Structure 1
Amino acid sequence: MGPFVCVKRLCLDVFCHQSVPLYLSEMAPSRYRGAFNMGFQFCVGVGVLIANLLNYGTQKIHGGWGWRISLAMAAVPASILTLGALFLPETPNSLIQHNKDPDKAKKMLQKVRGTDDIQPEFNDLVTANEISKTIKHPFKNILRQKYRPQLVMAILIPFFQQVTGINVISFYAPILFRTIGFGESASLMSAVVTGSVGLSMTFLSLLIVDKVGRRTVFAIGGVQMFVSQILVGSIMAAKLGDHGGLSKGYGFLVLILICSYVAGFGLSWGPLGWLIPSEIFPLEIRSAGQSITVAVGFLFTFIVAQTFLAMLCHMKSGTFFFFGGWVAVMTVFVYFFLPETKNVPIETMDRIWKQHWFWKRYVGEEDDKDTNNNPIITECI
């Protein structure tokens, strides 16, 4: 059974988590791109909530075979996803990139934008496609200095998303709640509660991200997660000790703080961890960049999941201080090194790096070399 579950998760991460955010970012208008893309994370949250409800219900089945129902039910959304994909149109970017009829791409762009006035955006797509054709090896090309900011984000954003500790809550919420004194049934219900909170905040993020900007949402969520984790760690250190559980009052306080933490993640790093990578890569390295993002996320999901129980046993309350420290680091990183991408057309995203106080020294220097020496074509031919 184990290998089949691993294959399922691998297919989910490789195909869905890589293709869906990119598809949405390419199809959505720039002013609504954040909301459209976050719809993906919102739907993931709906699925997680339904799964938690199924787990809560099936664990009451006598005989110990309820888990089989939970596992088998995953085939339902997988079937819907597979059938739905058959009816999805190609994005205008894809139609141009694969040398199909430009008129068809233009009509598709007019259709998804709901207007005939798309010539400037269409010209940007054509220009980006012409540049991408000069790139023969995108994985090699992404290592160049001019793509340094995108490469750094492709690695650090999924890494940071995992070391928020969210998968600790997702995977081990029942175990964690039993550790602090909840029973089996109450532990599963607590996981349902936290899932509902996260889903609600993702919906809120969907509504505000294109208005207040990505950086602001990152900052709000980061501060909320940091404070919540430090308080949870402090309560567990002071009241839980090495053995036993918390009193009922402290147990519910921890549950509230964990809900606050999940709310912060659902507002910020949950949806934005997928949105930002899907919108920052130029067409010529987009496939390579998104592949790196998914691979790094999958790797650290595995590492965190495999090490958490050992961390909880040895570090106890220190586990929450550990993840809280990482939340502080990533919040500072976003403040200083991630430029605002709100309302920036996806094919002109390179401008934000040229204007950034830190990244312009990398992007600007190589752009000057490209202008004077034209190394791009000679390197890729």
Structure 2
Amino acid sequence: MAGGVYIDQGQARHYDGNVTAFVLVTCFVAAMGGLLFGYDLGITGGVTSMEPFLAKFFPSVYRQMKAGLHENKHENTYCKFDNEILTLFTSSLYIAALVASFFASATTRILGRKPSMFSGGLFFLAGALLNGFAVNIAMLIIGRVLLGFGVGYCNQSVPVYLSEMAPAKIRGALNMGFQMMITIGILIANLINYGTAKYKHGWRISLGLGAVPAFLLCLGSLFLSDTPNSMIERGKHEEAKAMLIKIRGTENVDDELQDLIDASEEAKLVEHPWKNISQPKYRPQITFCSCIPFFQQLTGINVIMFYAPVLFKTLGFGAQASLMSAVITGVVNVGATFVSILTVDKFGRRILFLEGGVQMLVCQVAVGVMIALKFGVSGQGSFSKVEADVLLVLICAYVAAYAWSWGPLGWLVPSEICPLEIRSAGQAVNVAVNMFFTFIIAQIFLLMLCHLKFGLFFFFAGFVLIMTIFVALLLPETKNVPIEEMHLVWKSHWFWGKIVPASSRMASPNVLGYNNRKP
């Protein structure tokens, strides 16, 4: 395939080192930042389907749901939950995360990755407590904004931290620890929602328990060490060497250290990362840091993750059945992410992207057809037990495909392709685009469901087709390539090799002094 470029492994440097217990524990603690994001993704949809929560904060939606009527008094299943304030409760977090990602970029670059993770945990802790004790809409929204700042800081710093700490040969697996924690957070949230839904104030427990993973991240980050890349970036070369020895488990780290120092020296020549990231030599990075999160959100996955209980209830599942269905999809999500961790460094990123895209496309079209045949345009109808089971199987297959492809790879690839001089800026772009389109989808999904009806699933399927073609043509393979030698994949690519200037570091490793050292 045109995009299937694998760089000559003789070109890429291979550093000495082992997979140490220290780096595994460190990456596990850092990956807990994903718990925050996952817990919020899972908790929100369940809470917004709880009747006591709706009765207290969204009485019009509650009355509409109980009556089974839209505000125009014509029964329409698709429009049961269409309410702008209700969707603002979900989506306000993501616009806050978008804003926070730019502040987090500066914090990550100037102070290091560790302080950004701690700040993210602190913001999330405050937001979870505020939501748990909320007595009005204002408290809910302010709490969501604080949660958004927490998500923005963690999503900015954690993937970069994991990519920089991990050895190249298992970078994919360790980086995916972030996505694994997201899926575990979603599952835990679904289980909590299922358990608390029977209580009048169960929603308070669901929202307030978000403080637990936030506290764990704050506590864990106090004991983390920063990455060698970050230490060198801030002029701490001796500390960086000691850390490199510790995480690689060998004294022979001089080649890798020198490459990191050279990369840092070139990075210092870049006075304005936000201006320079738009230069031609960084065109591949800005393309993928923008397009991957854009497509990731337009897979339609957040339709499931945000609103699974609401969606299942809309399609005729009972209250407890809808929450249990969300738990089932959460279990599938965790299991499929584990599959990705085991395979990403063996088979590579491209094959997972492509297989996942095809499977998601098939499942979305099938779900759309089922809903069209049963509910039509009027939105009147219901599924039989067998049909509901088939629908659940299709949604689980869709979730599995996302969980071993676009879910984890959407964070892994952007975090590993950027050179040090634009890494913080590139990750900020990734987070900002991700959060912006997460906000858009969260804000308009219920409106789209009301107006597009079953066509919504075909809408997302169209984007899945486009993004799969995009990867097939333009994404080179990045497995087993040291993070500071990623420039070689662009030089070898059929398309990007024509775009990236031959004089840039990407195209000429000699600029970093590689010609003086053995490959």
User: TM-score with structure 2 length normalisation?
Assistant: 0.69
State how far apart, in whole Å, the 2-side matches of 1:161 and 1:116 are.
40
The 5 A counterparts of 1:111-150 are 111-150=246-285
Name the count of aligned residue pairs.
369
Deviation, 1:367, is 3.0
C-alpha spacing 1:181/1:78, structure 2 compared with 1 (3 Å): same
Q: What are the residue-to-residue correspondences of 1:1-381 with 2, within 5 Å?
A: 1-61=139-199, 64-100=200-236, 102-241=237-376, 242=378, 243-365=380-502, 367=504
State the 1:55 CA deviation. Answer: 0.6
Distance 1:162 1:282 in 2: 25
**C-alpha contact (below 8 Å) 2:332/2:396 kept by paired residues:** yes
How far apart in 1 are the matches of 2:150 and 2:325?
Answer: 26
Asked if 2 retains the 8 angstrom alpha-carbon contact of 1:52 and 1:188, the reply is yes
- The DSSP-based 3-state class of the residue aligned with 1:367 is coil
Letter in 1 for 2:354: A
**Residues in 2 aligned to 1:78 and 1:57: alpha-carbon distance in whole angstroms:** 21
3-state secondary structure, aligned to 1:364? coil
**1:103 CA displacement:** 2.3
Q: In 2, are the aligned partners of 1:225 and 1:264 still within 8 Å (CA)?
A: yes
Per-residue Cα deviation, 1:65-91 (whole angstroms, up to 9, x for no partner): 110011110001100101111111011
What displacement does 1:107 show? 1.6
Q: Indicate the SS of the match to 1:245.
A: coil
Q: Any idea what the Cα deviations from partners look like across 1:27-56, whole Å, max 9, x if unmatched?
A: 000000000000111011111100111111
| Poorly superposed stretches of 4+, deviation over 4 Å | none
1:364 positional shift: 2.9
Q: Which moved more, 1:1-10 or 1:255-264?
A: 1-10
* CA distance in 2: counterparts of 1:245 and 1:299, whole angstroms: 34
- Residue 198 (structure 1) shift: 0.8
Q: Distance in 1 between matches of 2:480 and 2:251?
A: 20
For 2:445 and 2:368, the matched residues in 1 are separated by 15
Which stretch shifts more, 275-284 or 172-181? 172-181
Instruction: Give unmatched runs, 5+ long, in structure 1.
Output: 375-381
Separation in 1 of the partners of 2:373 and 2:162? 46
* CA positional deviation for 1:365: 4.8
Q: Which 5+ residue runs of structure 2 have no aligned equivalent? A: 1-138, 512-519
User: How far off its partner does 1:271 sit?
Assistant: 0.5
**Equivalent residue of 2:252, what SS?**
coil
Q: Is the 8 A contact 2:316 2:382 kept in 1?
A: yes
Letter in 1 for 2:177: G
* Partner AA of 1:340 in structure 2: E
TM-score, normalised by the number of residues in structure 1: 0.94
Aligned equivalents of 2:146, 2:306: Cα separation in 1: 16
Q: Percent identity?
A: 57
Q: Distance in 2 between matches of 1:85 and 1:76?
A: 14
Greater helix percent: which structure? 1
Q: 1:92–1:170: structure 2 CA closer, same or farther, 3 Å change rule?
A: same
Say if 1:214 and 1:341, in contact at 8 Å, map to a contact too: yes
Could you tell me how far 1:366 is from its partner in structure 2? 5.6
Partners of 2:451 and 2:383 lie apart in 1 by 18
